[in-house]
Amino acid sequence: MDANKETTGTPDIAAFAAAFLKKETGADGVEIHSCKRLGGGAIQENLALDLTITGGPWAGRHELVLRTDSPSSLAVSLGRAEEFAVLKVAFAAGVKVPEPLWLHQDAGELGKDFYLMRKAGGSAAARPLVRGDLTTDERDALLFELGGELAKLHTVRPPVASLDFLPMPDGTPAQSRVAEYRRLIDAIGRPQPTLEWALRWLELNAPASTETTLTHGDFRTGNYMVEDKHLSAVLDWEFAGWSDPMEDLGWLCARCWRFGAWEHEVGGVGGTAALARGYASIAGKPVDLSLLPYWEVMGIMRWAVIALMQAERHVSGEQPSLELALTGRMLPEIELDLIQEIQTIEKERARHA
Amino acid sequence: MRSLPTAAELLKIAREGLLNELLPHLPKEHHYTALMAANALAISMREIQADDSQHKAEAALLHELYGSAAPDEGMDALAGHLAHDLRAGRFDARLDTVGQLLLAEVTARLRVSNPKYLKQAGLN
């Protein structure tokens, strides 16, 4: 056994992946140098593989990431085969994503699907980025890039044959979300007056949708990689779907995803002007930022529902966990965000009336 | 008869032991769990020591929205009524008033679960 070999990941998956790659690439052999578990996946498990392929068109050394399901999946997220399909479409649209390479669709050999992609450089850690020492110009440059990536993704319109598993919104995307969140709250079965209050407001104020595009669904600080102060890859595509493109912008800017830096509206990184400029540079038309506050409220609502579902896994006894338990006690923070952000919009509206 | 120290005092001293004596000896990868445990102890401590402001905020909500017709089944049942009525649009004309009452109730819960957050939000 190679002294440098690390087996902190899951060696049987690594060995399985090596055999899979040998077959898939027509190689003579595949040697795994290291297999390390990467952090940051409550739902998915990500393993970094450093390997050498001998023979065949892929001969050489490769740094890859293997993504598979972890034991606790959320029912609302995509499976790995579907996520792989989304990643391919996003890659083809020119979005900076880790290049998706091979998909293993399991027929009982391993017990779960996985796919392999190129490992992207940089770090996705949110707090160092938010608290870091980027200058205003550097922040603006990064926000410009984020806007551009979103605009590229939003050029993808339905229908796309390889994405036929993604449901279309029922009604406008906003109405569809309100109905979805009500269903999820009902499934938990505990009354949530504050969430119902906010949902009613979201229903009454739902914008007429102008367009439906491919959306990332979880585009926020912590889910994109930054290398040398620039965007290197957009990660975590399991919530992708057809929706209003403003939903992605609202989620990115929602107060719950600023990691304490509330003064920086876009993900705790900076202001919306640079983001909008970057978006417009690709979209070829200006972003209507007047719709952003509504979609930020929708984003906070989404987080409230996800937090509720995560907490329920502990409360129901399904998955006892300190982290999930504390997520339940975060709900008042999210409720406060909802009330304050809606009140701000209403005050602003009254001022202009 | 009352056993001393109180539950709140026990939680306080347990938390101090965890943070001051155990945490410095823990490997880095276990710090997050230790900090979460300390947070759970702090929330429990505040909950035990909480005054009746949450109860008052709930009662005000009940009285303001349902008056003398307020259902007499307690707060959980009321929350169910309110949630249902909000969804059905029965408070559409008074959404801002309901929002203000809910804010007071949420604020009272936050005083227990995360008082620092209240401060950041400009509330106390």
Looking at the fold, whether A247 and A179 belong to one and the same domain comes out as yes
So what's the pLDDT on residue A75?
59
Of chain A residues 293-322, which have a CB less than 8 A from chain B? 322
User: Bigger pLDDT: A33 or A10?
Assistant: A33
Average pLDDT over residues A10-29: 91
The answer as to whether A5 is a domain residue is no
Indicate yes or no: CB of A332 within 8 angstroms of CB of B114.
Answer: yes
**Which of helix, strand or coil describes residue A243?**
strand
Q: A326: nearest CA in chain B?
A: B40
Looking at the fold, whether A188 and A150 belong to one and the same domain comes out as yes
Q: A325: nearest CA in chain B?
A: B40
Report the C-alpha gap between A66 and A85 in whole angstroms: 15
Residue range B57-91, pLDDT digits in tens: 888 888 889 886 655 667 778 889 999 999 999 99
Report the C-alpha gap between A207 and A233 in whole angstroms: 31
Looking at the fold, whether A151 and A296 belong to one and the same domain comes out as yes
Looking at the fold, whether A225 and A290 belong to one and the same domain comes out as yes
Report the C-alpha gap between A198 and A204 in whole angstroms: 10
The answer as to whether A285 is a domain residue is yes
What confidence category does residue A287 fall into, taking pLDDT thresholds of 50, 70 and 90?
very high
Of chain A residues 164-203, which have a CB less than 8 A from chain B? 182, 191-194, 196-197, 199-201
So what's the pLDDT on residue A9?
47
Which residues touch B100 (CB under 8 Å, ≥6 apart)?
Answer: none
Looking at A74, A99, A118, the residue that finishes a domain is A118
Question: Which of chain A's residues have a Cβ under 8 Å away from the Cβ of B106?
Answer: 194, 332, 335-336, 339
Looking at the fold, whether A187 and A255 belong to one and the same domain comes out as yes
Domain range holding A17?
Answer: 11-118
Residue range A183-242, pLDDT digits in tens: 999 999 999 999 999 999 999 999 987 799 999 999 999 999 999 999 999 999 999 999
Q: Cβ(A331)–Cβ(A311) under 8 Å?
A: yes
Compute the C-alpha angle B83/A201/B78, nearest 5°. Answer: 15
Average pLDDT over residues A328-344: 98
Residue ranges per structural domain of chain B? 7-49, 53-120
Looking at the fold, whether A88 and A37 belong to one and the same domain comes out as yes
**Using CB atoms, which residue from A193, A342, A343 is nearest to B86?**
A193
Looking at the fold, whether A41 and A174 belong to one and the same domain comes out as no
Looking at the fold, whether A197 and A324 belong to one and the same domain comes out as yes
The answer as to whether A187 is a domain residue is yes
Looking at A84, A118, A152, the residue that finishes a domain is A118
CATH code (residue A296): 3.90.1200.10
Pull the structure tokens for residue A89: 């479409």
Average pLDDT over residues B35-51: 96
The answer as to whether A1 is a domain residue is no
So what's the pLDDT on residue A1?
36
Looking at the fold, whether A205 and A237 belong to one and the same domain comes out as yes
B76 in contact with chain A, both atoms CB, cutoff 8 A: yes
Looking at the fold, whether A67 and A212 belong to one and the same domain comes out as no
Q: Cβ(A238)–Cβ(A78) under 8 Å?
A: yes
The answer as to whether A263 is a domain residue is yes
Looking at the fold, whether A85 and A22 belong to one and the same domain comes out as yes
B18 in contact with chain A, both atoms CB, cutoff 8 A: no
B35 in contact with chain A, both atoms CB, cutoff 8 A: no
C-alpha distance from B21 to closest chain A C-alpha (Å): 21
Find, among B83, B38, B48, the residue nearest to B65 by Cα: B83
Question: How far from the centroid of its chain's Cα atoms is residue A206's Cα?
Answer: 23
Looking at the fold, whether A330 and A189 belong to one and the same domain comes out as yes
ipTM at complex level: 0.95
So what's the pLDDT on residue A247?
98
Q: Cβ(A235)–Cβ(A225) under 8 Å?
A: yes
What confidence category does residue B108 fall into, taking pLDDT thresholds of 50, 70 and 90?
very high
Count the domains in chain A: 2
What confidence category does residue A320 fall into, taking pLDDT thresholds of 50, 70 and 90?
very high
Looking at A118, A141, A161, the residue that finishes a domain is A118
Average pLDDT over residues A313-341: 96
So what's the pLDDT on residue B60?
86
Query: What is chain A's mean pLDDT, rounded?
Result: 93
Question: How far from the centroid of its chain's Cα atoms is residue A284's Cα?
Answer: 25
A329 in contact with chain B, both atoms CB, cutoff 8 A: yes
The answer as to whether A82 is a domain residue is yes
CATH code (residue A37): 3.30.200.20
The answer as to whether A3 is a domain residue is no
